[in-house]
Amino acid sequence: MKICLATNNQGKIKELKSLLSSLDIEVVGLKDIGCKIDLPETGTTFQENSLQKAQYVFDNYQISCIADDSGLEIDALQGEPGVFSARYAGEHGNDKANIAKVLEKLARIENRKANFKTVVTYINADGNAYFFEGKIEGKIAHHEMGTNGFGYDPIFIPTGYSETFAELSAEIKNLISHRAKAVDGLLEFLKMKGNNKGL
């Protein structure tokens, strides 16, 4: 059984492969199926974007697919950057510029509460779509700390920890992250389907 992770983000692929390692399936990325384009993300919510990406892969490559759309929501910025997290500073995937913009906007703001949210869409071999959401609360650090992870990880401190996601080990992050919570829901769903049969 083969499932495609609908992303070109190598950090996300590595993280999701680790989270899905308990399943008896082959996990591949977009490059592995010959998809070299940036998938469409024109929705206004994480669920719309997640479904849009998964649907594109399923429709064009006839393969079961897992897609996610994730973002950072900052209370003091009325939920920004939200669905625009990956391109907050203009250029898609420019982590340094995105982080710099967040830190600049929060420079004189005391309330640094934030959360990471993700919606995972799973489309099975029959074309049916299922959704799984994960969320983790935390706050924004005053400067970058740590070199692990990707995206906003160097400035996000999850509640209950003093380190950023980029300082925590992959093992810990994979237990507590927003993506881990969403994938946990997916794993439970797949197990209920009967030991991965009929995926």
Which of left, alpha, beta for 10 (phi over 0: left; psi -120 to 50: alpha)? alpha
69 is catalytic: yes
Dump the DSSP string for 66-93: EEEEEEEEEGGGTT-BGGGGGGTTSSTT
Measured distance CA(172)–CA(131) in Å, rounded = 24
* Close Cβ partners of 140 (under 8 Å, ≥ 6 residues apart): 74, 102, 103, 106, 112, 114, 155, 156, 157
Which one from 24, 59, 68, 69 is the annotated catalytic residue?
69
Closest by CA to 184, choosing from 126, 123, 118, 140, is 118
Residues forming beta bridges with residue 117, ordered by sequence position: 71, 135
Catalytic residues: 69
